[in-house]
Structure 1
Amino acid sequence: MMGRTTKFRFLVLNGEHDFGGHETPEWRRVHEWIRKELDPDVILRQEMTYSTREGRRGFHAARHALGMTGVMAAGTTLESPNPTGIFVKESGLRLVSDYPQVTNWWHPATQVRVAHVGEHYTTELSLASVHLDCNSPTQRLREAEMAIRWGGTKEVEDEKGQRRQVTQPCIMGGDFNSYSSFPDELGPLPDMAAVRDRHHVVHRTLPDRLTPDTRPWDTLNTAGFTDLALHAHHTLGQRKALRGTSHRRTDQGAVKGQQHPRIDFIFANGSIPEAVERFEVVEVPGGASDHHGLYVVFSPHSFWQAVEETARPR
């Protein structure tokens, strides 16, 4: 185990087709790895493909295997039954509410709020697991535009009758099926003119069919969210935080010996990024997924202070 002590840990993980389902050795091996080696407090999952079957039996098996409570997306599309989900360790957090997302999502997001166990910190934190549309850049942009509201602002009246703005603290992560526009990534964006899989080109580019889609990433940045991998690179000198997160075939632009680009991200708003201590891109044992996980370690005291500071009226 990576030093339980006083750290606060997040894991973002697209488990390709649910690691084969809860009755397979791969599924059991991955969940044991998560529990023993990573020991996260929060997991933002994508592609829980088989977890809805037989009364969500696979979802409940995951809760027990991980020793965590959880929420799974309210539904899936018939064409792509790959729900998202969130797991929370209730030794340090309380899952206080969940908000089913259905309308206008290809893969409905999972969105909840959690609170700190104990009385010292009172602000609720919004968490979201997202899996943006793999087929349509237009739909991905729409989904990103809907997602930013979970870290939105509202006006309140203080004790002096003055109107102030309050931000909802939020951490959001998942498979964005698109790229970042940061110019110095470890994995360069694919040369779409050279990609042989032309369906992949349509799915991952703007209408000119040459420009890789970065609009969801740009949307979250414009809305005040921070890419935590980029924060770890800039602030903590952790260049490896920008490692590629998904395998790509050579007919989809992969170049031998070259890093893949990032398509999985975790974002936070307000002061929350300042509490990050470490960011790792972790490989799933046995190649059980075509995505790597994002593993973020926070200082717990600084983390909740940052959550409170983010929500402070301004």
Structure 2
Amino acid sequence: MAPAEENVVTVAVWNVEHNGHDKDGADHRRHRAYDVLAEYQPDLVFRQELTHAHLDGSRALYEEANRLGLWPFMAPGTPESPNPTGVLLSTELFQVDAYYTHSTGGWHPICNPLVRLKNPDGRPSGTALSLASVHLCCYDPATRAREAKRLVTLGAPGRTALLGGDMNSYPHRTHEESVPLPNWSDPALRDAAHFEHRTVERDGKRVSDTVPDQILAGGRKVFVEAGYYAATTLGHSHALEPTANLWRKDQGRRSRIDRLYFSPSLAPALLSLEVVADDDVAEVSDHALLIARFDRAAMQRTLTPVSETPEESRA
């Protein structure tokens, strides 16, 4: 039997292209994005490309938060990219302990609130949960690898993390994916810069960059990748559907670059992962919307060890 709605934690991951701002100054896509997100009633949102959201006293950031009934956090923009990451969360569900940002070399800083999940009586979990909204570098594989290594620290022993975002790279378990990696010899893939940005050299050949996913969810498996887990363990094959690019036609087939990761201890709590790429989403952004649902009680058990240790060191 599925948990009742109040016992489900709904998590959204979405890169809203330039925060819904068009080049002519129109921002109707931004307001449409609020409507789309509100339909899912998320308890937690990992946002990318909060472009211009810091202007006028962060008015657009609070506008989105108020529309969703959530509390916002936003990492700073940088001279290299004015498209910051953000996390919006329910203060009814989460107690905020601290808020960090992590610089990874001039691209998008990681937005990282540290929270505790409240039980139905309002008591916070004994173990903190590190939340992170991520937008890995779009142009440099080496920077992406460095950013992924930084994220690994959030999943160090004694820490529990949940993170999501635009990884600008590909899953490393290619034989189990529903969508093949890009065919870089495809004549339809006309964007030469895209090839340089998304490939690495391996054995003398240029191949798709899967390094960040290998760092995060390969090897010793610091994290579990939600799409892969939902497909292979829960039997939800649709969780491996592509997330980008919904608009452009010169970068080849769509691919699964937007992903959600969590510490292995949280895996039993995952109920589902949905990739939403319908007309409403495509009207707003070139990225699909990810909706993950977790069993709140199972999360609570994971985050409430017998010792009830209240402290967790900073990443």
TM range (shorter): 0.7 to 0.9
In 2, the alpha carbon distance for the partners of 1:311 and 1:84 equals: 34
| CA displacement, residues 141-162 of structure 1 (integer Å, 9 cap, x when unaligned) | 1111111101112xxxxxxxxx
SS in 1 for 2:14: strand
> Is the CA contact (8 Å cut-off) linking 1:201 and 1:209 kept in structure 2?
no
Alignment partner of 1:211 is 2:214: no
- The within-5 A match list for 1:156-171 is 167-171=158-162
2:312 maps to none
> Is the CA contact (8 Å cut-off) linking 1:271 and 1:309 kept in structure 2?
no
1:91 maps to 92
| CA displacement, residues 145-188 of structure 1 (integer Å, 9 cap, x when unaligned) | 111101112xxxxxxxxxxxxx2010011000000011221111
In 2, the alpha carbon distance for the partners of 1:11 and 1:138 equals: 28
Structure 1 residues 98 and 16: CA distance shift in structure 2, 3 A: same
Choose from 34, 51, 54 the match for 2:53: 51
Structure 1 residues 311 and 30: CA distance shift in structure 2, 3 A: farther
- The within-5 A match list for 1:18-57 is 18-20=19-21, 24-35=27-38, 37-57=39-59
1:6 maps to 7
Alignment partner of 1:140 is 2:108: no
In 2, the alpha carbon distance for the partners of 1:309 and 1:20 equals: 45
How far residue 103 of structure 1 moved from its aligned partner, in angstroms, is 4.8
TM-score by length of 1: 0.86
Alignment partner of 1:281 is 2:285: no
2:179 maps to 187
Structure 1 residues 310 and 225: CA distance shift in structure 2, 3 A: farther
Choose from 124, 131, 149 the match for 2:128: 124
| CA displacement, residues 176-205 of structure 1 (integer Å, 9 cap, x when unaligned) | 000001122111101123333221111000
| Paired letter, 1:295 | I
| CA displacement, residues 31-83 of structure 1 (integer Å, 9 cap, x when unaligned) | 12212x2111110000000201122121111111111111100x222232000
Which structure 2 residue ranges, 5 or more long, are not aligned? Answer: 310-315
2:64 maps to 62
Q: How much identity, in percent, do the aligned residues show?
A: 32
TM-score by length of 2: 0.86
SS in 1 for 2:7: coil
1:162 maps to none
Q: Count residues with an aligned counterpart.
A: 291
Structure 1 residues 103 and 217: CA distance shift in structure 2, 3 A: closer
Choose from 237, 240, 247 the match for 1:239: 237
1:163 maps to none
Which structure 1 residue ranges, 5 or more long, are not aligned? Answer: 154-166, 255-259
In 2, the alpha carbon distance for the partners of 1:116 and 1:192 equals: 44
| CA displacement, residues 10-37 of structure 1 (integer Å, 9 cap, x when unaligned) | 11110111012898332222212212x2
Bigger Cα displacement from structure 2, 283-292 vs 271-280: 283-292
SS in 2 for 1:206: strand
| Paired letter, 1:244 | P
| CA displacement, residues 118-159 of structure 1 (integer Å, 9 cap, x when unaligned) | 236321100000000001011111111111101112xxxxxx
| Paired letter, 2:237 | R
> RMSD value over aligned CA atoms?
2.2
| Paired letter, 2:242 | G
SS in 1 for 2:213: helix
1:262 maps to 256
| Paired letter, 1:193 | S
| CA displacement, residues 76-128 of structure 1 (integer Å, 9 cap, x when unaligned) | 22232000000001111112210122351411110111112223632110000
1:161 maps to none
